[in-house]
Structure 1
Amino acid sequence: MALTEALFVVVSVLGAIYLWFQRNHTYWQRKGLPYIPPTPIIGNTKSTFTQEANFGMHLSDIYSNPKMQDEAVVGIYVINKPGLVIREPELIKSVLIRDFNRFSDRYGRCDPHGDTLGYNNLFFVPNPKWKEIRTKLTPVFTSGKVKQMYPLIQEIADDLEQLLARDHPGPNVKYCSDIKDVCGRFTTDSIATIAFGVRANSLQDKNAEFRRMGNLFFKLSLSRACDFFIAFFLPKLVSLLRVKFFPAEFSNFMRGSISHVMAERERTGTVRNDLIDILVGLKKEAAQEPDKPHMAKTKDFLVAQAVVFFTAGFETSSSTMAFALYELAKHPEMQQRVRQEIHEALLEEGGKLSYERINSLEYLSMVVDEVLRMYPVLPFLDRQYSSIKGQPDLSLKPYYDYKLEHGTPVFIPVYGLHYDPKYWTNPREFNPERFSAANRKNIQSMAYQPFGLGPHNCIGSRIGLLQSKLGLVHFLKNHEVRCCESTVLEIKFDPKSFVLQPAKDLILEIVNDRLYDNAVQAK
């Protein structure tokens, strides 16, 4: 009898939960907005839940759904939470720029107590703390400061050349390599030196600590996929489930490294105009006002800024470089044009490009911009709507008779926008000419945002672009890339990652043709 009663209670509870979910899953139907029918319990997250596609690609599929082509927004359910996929450029502009004060927070969260590195960094921290941090860190990323960092990146680019010359010694010897790994080692060393003043030596040793830790963070596993899913889409559960955005070993390594570098900088008084200088300054600022609250009094706050700069900095630039080389290998005539532009500039400047000259390489910039269109590292943007006391909630008129409710998550499908034939002719074709001076003015600004737009855009985009371009210059200076038997014909993205990462290694043949060296000798 007791077993029967217990079974009845369990069935009743499960039934009540199911009905509660079903009630929530009629929200958009009741509000009269277009929506994608949800799967019971898990809403519109099935493909992510079953590891068929990462959430960014899933959002892009929703964006591209033929039934939604004329809609400004699409209603979805993140498990049971009603959310909106924004399709209309004017509404995207509202979210990212015009009404930014209502969308200043991401929907994703980290635990402020159990995951201080995740919570305190610039990517996740909510407003108004976000604005204060952004203001403090902005001086590191001005064009003037980036120019001062340029010689440091050049040193690492020379190391890249030496690695390629060592591993690919001559034109008659064919080698195939995982291009993503090579690019990742370059950008790891670059970020380590320009941000922390540390020689990471990843190009000399692929198992060097900084490289190993970077790989650890982006290691794709089911448990890490679950952590990312909860952080981005079930933020209310991050504390209960003790989710950590950064793995424990990675966090401990970064705490030790950053503390050591800061202590040395304070001891020697060395100034390098980098991120560590800013963090040391914030620490001194906090010490001068012991009785006042200050973010820098929390040790993990300082480490958190360095951590997100490191992880975002090396992965975005290495992906851009690798995808660029992959596309150039598939389009040899474009590769020839890029290399010719590079060689002409190098010959004119004696083998070393100035900061101004590398930014003036028109065709290289067009190639990089097209790569960022086809392979945006972060394929979606997430925001959360916040009501403002004393003001009416934001209306979706004239598109729909609906006012947003406080706490509603909104998503911008960057990948979907980048492949919309409404904005891009033959969007699946690699075509750098889209970004020529003549064509660039025709681009719908809201339809191209590899670094986001508005106040919450990527603070390090200048450094990211510079790293990618300089890496490509020194890679292609004396080396050609070609497709080989192991090269994937069509890139598929790993469903376990929240950024765009290829599911398989990007293998290309690298040929040392010494084209620039030969041109110098001929001259």
Structure 2
Amino acid sequence: MLSIVIIGLLTALLTVIYVWYRYTYDYWMRHKIPFIKPFPLIGNVQVLFTLSNSFFLYLSDVYKDSRMSKAAAVGIYIINKPALVLREPELIKSVLVQEFPRFSSRVAACDPHGDTLGSNNVFFARNPQWRELRTRISPVFTSVKIKQMYELMTEIGSELESYFLKHTKTGNTYNTEIKEVCALYTTDVIASVAFGIQANSIKNPNGEFRTHGRNFMNFTLGRALSFFIAFFYPNWVSTFKVKVFTAEFSSFLRKTIDHAITEREKTGAIRNDLIDVLLGMKKEMLATQEYNKEVLDVLTAQASAFYTAGFEASSSTMAFTLYELAHRMDLQERLRNEIRGALVADHGKLSYETITNLPYLGMVVDEVLRLYPVLPAVDREHSTSEGDKPFDLRPYYDYKVPNGMAVYIPIFGIQRDPKYWPNPNTFDPERFSAENKKLHEPMAYMPFGIGPRNCVGGRVGLLQVKTGLVNILKNHFVTVCDKTPAEITFNPLSILLQCKEGIYLNVVNDGLYEQIANSGRT
């Protein structure tokens, strides 16, 4: 009798599981949206369990799936939650630009109690907090202030050049992991232009600033799990005490920002940097008696976003640029000729106007950002106020997006789509000549995102990339070596586009710029 009861209970349980399974994973079929067949119980995030790919790169595989070539949007499942991957440019434009108020927040979230730097920074903040933070931070990135930052960048660019000169002599080769060297440079730039601090990472690679930055970007399995919860199950971040910004990293940043603000208050110096903006916010809140420890965390959180995004994105772009140029010596020489010619015309030091308007340098960097967008995908959460109509996928599909649904735009896949980019995996800066840029599909190129929530520091990032490349290439060229990867393999644990095995290159000092400069003087 007991065995019959147990069998009956097991049968009932299995029946419930089966009904739940069919109902959950038939969602997109019921709504007649093309979808990728899910794996039982884990949906379409199998790459996270096998560690074979990052999820944000996997979204590009969804985009490129031949069965979805005519789909405007594709349904997937994050474990058991339905989500959408957009393919149609007009739908993408609607989400990122035209219907932005419905998609103004990212899906990801951080624990507001255990990770205040994460939950309060401009990347993770949700509307309306995001809009207020963005409005306050935007003055740092005006054209006038970026031009003022350039002087500080050139000083560190000269230190980068000296670093390579120290390790090479004319005709000699220096073999190095180029991404790490670029990160030393971008760490020093961000510390200077944002915080007014001399980090000296180029001179001391194991200094405090670079060590903390290196550790933060080291995506271990535990960190990957934290990011999985933060990006896909944000309602769980408090339950599992998820921290995107670790306690050690948060302590370092709090100490650094507090010191920078205190010193700026003592000296009264004005550097037109992030610290000036944070100091202004502090003064406003002191005047209204709103300033407290929580407010200081909000200020520090903005610095954390600037710091982490600033050094990692730019150093990766520089490294990928040098990697591609090392494989195309003809294109590298064309770029070096442009740089050296401009240096002679500007008497050895490029002006801000010159470096921002070097045509081929701009074409090269734009093409690298097409091939290697730092964020391979962007996410948005659909959210409407009470009484508002939900976002509708018509005329493509008769489907209204429900509140809370995640919507993904696979930037990496779009920017390597042969429909928009012939021979998409080939490095070809000519795609971004003045004539060819007129032919681009506007929504097929968005390395910094598009719309109100695009990357606020994109122009600063481009400037530090160009400044770094100029100071490397004016007296040096790069070549491949035995340890240079034939193809880039991306780190499956990272949400950013990171090379898994490192990018080793030979750096050679040819001294040609000095010869050209000297001939120009005579």
Task: State the TM-score, normalizing by the size of structure 1.
Answer: 0.96
* Match of residue 310 from structure 2: 313
Q: Distance in 2 between matches of 1:326 and 1:223?
A: 30
The CA deviation at 1:332 is 0.3
What pairs up with 1:169-188 in 2 under 5 angstroms? 169-171=169-171, 173-188=172-187
* Match of residue 106 from structure 1: 106
The 3 A distance-change label for structure 1 pair 281 and 29 is same
Q: Distance in 2 between matches of 1:250 and 1:297?
A: 17
Q: Distance in 2 between matches of 1:14 and 1:115?
A: 40
What pairs up with 1:72-471 in 2 under 5 angstroms? 72-171=72-171, 173-290=172-289, 298-471=295-468
Q: CA RMSD in A?
A: 1.9
Letter in 1 for 2:469: L
The 3 A distance-change label for structure 1 pair 259 and 2 is farther
Q: Distance in 2 between matches of 1:210 and 1:3?
A: 65
| Structure 2 gaps, min length 5 | none
**1:48 and 1:58 in contact (8 A); partners too:** no
Letter in 2 for 1:336: E
**1:36 and 1:44 in contact (8 A); partners too:** yes
Q: Distance in 2 between matches of 1:381 and 1:140?
A: 24
Letter in 2 for 1:441: K
The 3 A distance-change label for structure 1 pair 10 and 209 is farther
The CA deviation at 1:239 is 1.1
**1:186 and 1:203 in contact (8 A); partners too:** yes
1:406-452 CA-to-partner distances (Å, cap 9, x unmatched) read 11100000000001111001101100000000000111111100000
* Match of residue 26 from structure 2: 26
Q: Which shifted more, 238-247 or 93-102?
A: 238-247
The 3 A distance-change label for structure 1 pair 222 and 371 is same
Q: Distance in 2 between matches of 1:49 and 1:55?
A: 10
The CA deviation at 1:57 is 1.0
* Match of residue 515 from structure 2: 518
Letter in 1 for 2:201: S
* Match of residue 474 from structure 2: 477
The CA deviation at 1:297 is 5.2
The CA deviation at 1:515 is 1.2
| Structure 1 gaps, min length 5 | none
1:232-282 CA-to-partner distances (Å, cap 9, x unmatched) read 111121111111001221111111111111111112211110000000110
1:299-342 CA-to-partner distances (Å, cap 9, x unmatched) read 21111000010000001110110000000000000000000000
The 3 A distance-change label for structure 1 pair 111 and 2 is farther
Dislocated runs of 4+, deviation >4 Å: 1-19, 293-297
Q: Which shifted more, 394-403 or 461-470?
A: 394-403
Q: Distance in 2 between matches of 1:468 and 1:8?
A: 67
Letter in 1 for 2:132: E
The 3 A distance-change label for structure 1 pair 504 and 18 is farther
1:443-473 CA-to-partner distances (Å, cap 9, x unmatched) read 1111100000000000000100000001000
Q: Distance in 1 between matches of 2:494 and 2:410?
A: 16
* Match of residue 488 from structure 1: 485
Task: State the TM-score, normalizing by the size of structure 2.
Answer: 0.96
Q: Distance in 1 between matches of 2:16 and 2:413?
A: 37
- SS class of match (1:298): helix
Q: Which shifted more, 9-18 or 207-216?
A: 9-18
**2:115 and 2:242 in contact (8 A); partners too:** yes
Aligned length: 520
Equivalent pairs: percent with the same residue? 52
Letter in 2 for 1:442: L
The CA deviation at 1:18 is 6.4
Q: Which shifted more, 476-485 or 382-391?
A: 382-391
* Match of residue 71 from structure 2: 71
Letter in 2 for 1:420: D
**2:282 and 2:291 in contact (8 A); partners too:** no
**1:22 and 1:41 in contact (8 A); partners too:** no
- SS class of match (2:77): strand
The 3 A distance-change label for structure 1 pair 205 and 10 is farther
- SS class of match (2:40): coil
1:111-150 CA-to-partner distances (Å, cap 9, x unmatched) read 1122111100000000001000100000001111100111
The CA deviation at 1:502 is 0.4
The CA deviation at 1:23 is 2.2
